[in-house]
Chains A and B, each alone.
Chain A
Amino acid sequence: GENVEQHPSTLSVQEGDSAVIKCTYSDSASNYFPWYKQELGKRPQLIIDIRSNVGEKKDQRIAVTLNKTAKHFSLHITETQPEDSAVYFCAAMYSGGGADGLTFGKGTHLIIQP
């Protein structure tokens, strides 16, 4: 089955700086890569996703890049703000396969220092 590794487990950045979270996956058939943000005590919420037919996707201050050859994808947050503080999860799956196929990384705790 799929295995997703996420790094770092904790990331502290100054407000206004950029943050990058990286994930690697093992199954070359995986073709869907979502990112979730979870604030303390809240549910995980989908913030951005990318499919394997594109290399990069942006939505305002967040972007995701995908390198299929190296089997890794990254979340980039620019001009970080206090409300970006949260735990971020990456995930990978082969869409079109079984309904259970989404595998999550263990999460990155992003801390924005004022």
Chain B
Amino acid sequence: DAGITQSPRHKVTETGTPVTLRCHQTENHRYMYWYRQDPGHGLRLIHYSYGVKDTDKGEVSDGYSVSRSKTEDFLLTLESATSSQTSVYFCAISSGTSGSRYFGPGTRLLVL
């Protein structure tokens, strides 16, 4: 499964608390992505990275920040979690801009 792991796999938190999700890859791919998946919305891009310390916003970036200090790790932070951020979060990697994305196993986040 393309050498991608996510942690934690499940998390329950309370409104207003900070949450950090981790994506780790062993493929040495340049591009990494964070998506959220919600019923009726498909997969929506939150943030992406095109190299160490190089990141940019996606379609639904409000309320989220990211960091990439090493090629293999891409962190997604919810500074102050809200109930609207309850979702399944998928990390993905790509070797280039050709398009093919490979997804991690997902993190199921519940914000109470």
- Taking beta carbons and an 8 Å cutoff, which residues of A are in contact with B? 6, 32, 34, 42-46, 49, 89, 93, 95-102, 104-107
Contact = CB atoms under 8 A, between A and B. Distances in A.
B50 interface: yes
B74 interface: no
A15 to B, nearest CB: 26
B103 A100 contact: no
Contacts of B48: 99-100
Interface string B10-53: 00000000000000000000010100000011111100101000
Contacts of A95: 97-99
Contacts of A43: 1, 90, 103-106
B71 interface: no
A32 B103 contact: no
A16 to B, nearest CB: 29
24 contacts: A6-B42, A32-B99, A34-B99, A43-B103, A43-B105, A43-B106, A45-B103, A49-B99, A49-B100, A89-B42, A89-B43, A93-B99, A95-B97, A96-B97, A98-B97, A99-B31, A99-B48, A99-B50, A100-B56, A100-B58, A102-B101, A104-B42, A104-B43, A106-B42
Contacts of A106: 40-42
A18 to B, nearest CB: 24
A44 B58 contact: no
Contacts of B105: 42-43
Nearest to B58: A100
Nearest to B91: A43
B42 A107 contact: yes
A45 B92 CA distance: 11
Q: Lowest 7 A-B CB distances belong to which pairs? A: A32-B99, A106-B42, A43-B103, A104-B43, A104-B42, A95-B99, A99-B50
A46 B102 contact: yes
